[in-house]
Structure 1
């Protein structure tokens, strides 16, 4: 079934787009991720311009994250004070990112910059996840316990000025690193169309030493609102949010997430991470090929000029 996307200005197969959204929703339910770092490359592969893919893909992040955030909120597993400081930084970073997005688009560098960002981030994240998963599987088979760094302890962040007490996380640290982390995630959300949970969660645990029982809920709290603000800013400043595409993705993502939750309960955590790492690396490899491959219809200014004056 073909459907026309008015903002993307392309005709696509609705079932294909729906299938993409559902597949990423399944992954979101299985792995506890927003899925923005996967849906954006998939939309680009489907022929949608990177500008529209980034801006519209953020809607899918909202759909796949809001239900998880509400579940954590009901369990009192969200540090609202910490989430608000992260949100302030995220909104500032998102505003800067949307402005940079607009400038890059006007200069004609946007598509290349988005692709390079994804190759770098997916390559690093996929490699680290695969290494950690293989190590965890090997340790499990040998009967060795996994060691984790202790969270909930005050670290270097408490030595900076303008400190604030976050009671739910039992932290008393400066707001600057918290806002800096939120700003970095907001910037990535605006330029790459990602939620940023794959950076936010480990950074909160290992850099800020936030207790693990509130990390995911607090991260999702920030992601939902920053993704929503990013979508709104892109729609106003760049006009790159396709509502028809967004509705397809959001509907499919919500349905897929329910399946993913059930499927995720049947696999071990280290096996799930290994599967996700393989998928991330596969998407990264596909983007690398897209960057280095010769275009199907190569052309040059010289050849165009010659044809005009022939």
Structure 2
């Protein structure tokens, strides 16, 4: 079955995009990430204009994250207070990001900036996640299965910051400053790159905020839901780049995939999940980097500037 996308201005196969949404939703439930880091490049590979891909991915991130967040909330794996602090800052970052998108599109530089941002952030973060995951796995084997990132009595630079708050679910008494900075940065990335931001949010919560791994995934999804929702509304109203038809197809597949991914995640250890996530992020970065330097088959082409 084929449908015409009104904003992307192209016909697409419903089956292909349903499967794509389900696959990315599965990743969301499995790793606690929004899935935009994978979905945005895949949509552009399939011919969707970059600006439409970024904006529409935020809509998909909302649905897939809601499904996973509800499941984790029912299991008491969400620190609502921590998520709310990061969300407040994330909304500010999202508003700034949407305005930056508008200015880049006006200057005709959006596609290049997004590609460079993906290669840079995904390559660096993916490599760090992979290395740390491998190190955590070795530590786990050496200590008989314990891979807790923080030992009793251990302190970091975060402990010396002001504006401390108590987070009961995470059993933490730390400064709210790092949470605010992290939330704002993730909100900005959500608007610029169509990312939920989980691939940055999860390691930051574990190694900077020192949150217990048990509540990290659920809290990440909680924050991602609302940040992506704000980005979706702003892109739709200010940039007119959210393709509702494409979003609906991806959402159906994403909700189903997220539930399956959440169940699969229960069977994996924390370090194993980080290793798999790191590998996946690096692969996407390499693929996008190749596209930046590869010589196109058609050196010259005529096309609409819409979504560039």
Band the TM-score falls in, shorter-chain normalisation: 0.7 to 0.9
Count of residues in correspondence between the two structures: 301
Cα deviation digits, residues 195-239 of structure 1 (max 9, x gap): 111111221222122233332222221111111011001111101
Q: Is the 8 A contact 2:33 2:220 kept in 1?
A: no
Q: Which residue of 1 aligns with 2:261?
A: 260
Shift of residue 85, structure 1, vs aligned partner: 1.4
Correspondence for 2:16: 16
Residues 32-71 of structure 1 mapped to structure 2, 5 A cutoff: 32-71=32-71
The secondary structure found in structure 2 opposite 1:172 is: strand
- Matches of 1:85 and 1:269 in 2, distance apart? 25
Residue in 2 that maps onto 1:290 = 291
Distance 1:139 1:91, change over 3 A: closer
Say which is worse superposed, 228-237 or 77-86, in terms of deviation. 77-86
The residue matched to 2:33 in structure 1 has which SS?
A: coil
Please, which runs of 5 or more residues in structure 2 have no aligned partner?
303-308
Listed one character per residue, the Cα deviations across residues 65-122 of structure 1 (whole Å, up to 9, x for unaligned) are 1122222323333222222211110000000000011111111110011111111122
Cα RMSD of the aligned pairs, angstroms, is: 2.7
Q: How far is the alpha carbon of 1:15 from its aligned partner?
A: 1.6
Highest Rg: 1 or 2? Answer: 1
Q: TM-score, normalised by structure 2?
A: 0.87
Give deviations 1:28-73, integer Å, cap 9, x for gaps: 2333332111011100101001101111001221122112222232
SS of 1:12's partner is strand
TM-score, normalised to structure 1's length? 0.86
Query: Which whole-Å deviations, capped at 9, do the CAs of 1:150-171 have from their partners, x for residues lacking one?
Result: 1797643343333333333333
Which deviates more, 53-62 or 24-33? 24-33
Q: Distance in 2 between matches of 1:142 and 1:149?
A: 14
**Contiguous gaps of at least 5 residues in structure 1:** 305-310
Q: Which residue of 2 aligns with 1:215?
A: 216
Distance in 2 between the 1:158 and 1:131 partners?
A: 25
